[in-house]
Amino acid sequence: MSKSKKIYEYPWRKHQFPRDAADLDIPDGDVEKGKELYNRSCAGCHALDENDWLGPALRDVFNRKVGSKKGFYYSTAMSMSKGNWTREKLFLFLDNPEDVVPHTAMFFDGIKDPYERSCIIEYLQYLGSMIPSKGQEKLLKKEYAKTEQVNPQGDNA
């Protein structure tokens, strides 16, 4: 008799995975608290949509390849890192960046509270799920082009 694995069931997550996918015990976070914590702990160096000279934009960081945000110049240590920014990797990195990417240029002592780290991760996952896929993006562009053809002046009359 095979047991079925429990799956995280959040509607905004693009990627569903088994709860026991890693050995880490990561608590479920709160998106609203994650937004508050992100603004307090991360936003000083990381904008959501535009790269800053201090850090890359983070709206699409979840499941992105480490050190791969276009237009940002990473340290050698970060650009040589392997893997993607998974929930587990972000959880460890937010605790102590130097442990995950030795010699990183990111000067950050880390967030020691596991719940606060998980809240930030939930917020980043939520933001990433709001980004349209390439197919959705094409559809949105077509719809926008149609409305521009019908009403090129943008008048509502």
Residue 7 tokens, joined: 């799956």
Structure tokens at 21: 């996918």
pLDDT digits (tens, 9 = 90+) for 5-53: 444 444 544 444 444 444 567 888 999 999 999 999 999 999 999 998 9
Axis crossing angle, helix 87-95 with helix 114-129, rounded to the nearest 10: 140
Model pLDDT, residue 152: 59
H helices within 25-133, ranges in order? 31-41, 76-79, 87-95, 97-100, 114-129
- Strands of the chain (E only): list them: none
Residues 70, 12: Cα–Cα separation, whole Å: 25
CATH class of the domain whose range is 31-131: mainly alpha
84-124 pLDDT, tens per residue?
999 999 999 999 999 999 998 988 899 999 999 999 999 99
- Residues 85-96 pLDDT 10s: 999 999 999 999
Model pTM above 0.85: no
What type of residue sits at position 67? G
For the chain, which residues make up each domain, given as ranges? 31-131
The pLDDT assigned to 7 comes to 46
